[in-house]
Amino acid sequence: MKSLLGMSFAELQELVAQHNLPKFTAKQLVEWLYLKRVKTFDDMTNLSKATRQLLSENYTTGYRDFVTVQESRDGTKKYLFPAEDGFIEAAYIPEKERATLCVSCQVGCKMNCQFCQTGKQGFQGNLSAGDIINQILNLPEFENLSNFVFMGMGEPMDNYDNIMRVLDIMTSEWGLAMSPTRITVSTSGLIPNMKRFMQESRCNLAVSLHSPFHDERAKIMPIENKFPISEVIHAIRQHDWSGQRRVSFEYIVFKGFNDSQRHVNELAKQLGPLRCRVNLIRFHAVPGVDMQSPTMDDMTRFRDRLNDKGIIATIRASRGQDINAACGLLSTAAKEKQEE
């Protein structure tokens, strides 16, 4: 049966009209689904018994409870959620002054970045808008959340329509009424949909960069062969980044591969005039990947060199590494295999 979670207010209005229900029913459904986060039609107490029965016979709410949760020594939690095409993971990252949820958008990923466990899993399917927002609304710590990053499993720009449906629910007054500045959507560089996102959304953009050199980036990110990083940056330059909206670049540092002065100089050349931030991420070892993790001294030196060149660079703390919840480590391959 079709689920209601992930539907917009307009779509719920159409559904209500289709079943000849009172017009105000759509507003009631929006409130129950997105504001009160009710999981069953029986609990929607201001709907008539006949309406609740009609809905339960034809639809599901779309809420799916998590299957397992793992907690890291640092307080990070990794939740495993079921989805239409398998399973996905979401990472809850609490800090002193904020709490961030790392949201997944696909089961697996097509991009096949060499340093990423999700990419090595392959691609099983796009998540529906309902299964994406279920990770947010159905999180036990929902009330604590202050920030959202679409940097979990999958490439958001490869599931563009469903991502935009979720962002609409999150930021619309009829939905969760969240500030777009609290939300960041990442991409490895799918230029056509990235351009659409810059025009059609007010949320922040993060780009997986990892090397400013074409040949080098192509070795670890096959997408570089189709959408070179120079063209990605050029497209971003065309957008007006004034105001509160931000663009950032994610840069996983591999010891001896992409952390030299040559890289600093090229990053300064390509990013210099752009109002942006570079988030440096320490590489986490992945089985079968012949790359080395830098020391914290290596990370600090690289950051300082970038800062000296006028690039705002910060080191992102690695969270949840002991439960494979850190950047690049999310994967449900083992779970998918069990289900076969």
Question: Which residues carry out catalysis?
Answer: 89, 327
Alpha carbon distance 294, 245 (integer Å): 31
Strand 183-187 relative to strand 123-126, pairing: unpaired
Do residues 335 and 83 make contact, with C-beta atoms less than 8 angstroms apart? no
Alpha carbon distance 120, 117 (integer Å): 5
The residues, any chain, with a CB within 8 Å of residue 317's CB and separated by 6 or more, are none
Alpha carbon distance 260, 216 (integer Å): 13
Do residues 77 and 92 make contact, with C-beta atoms less than 8 angstroms apart? yes
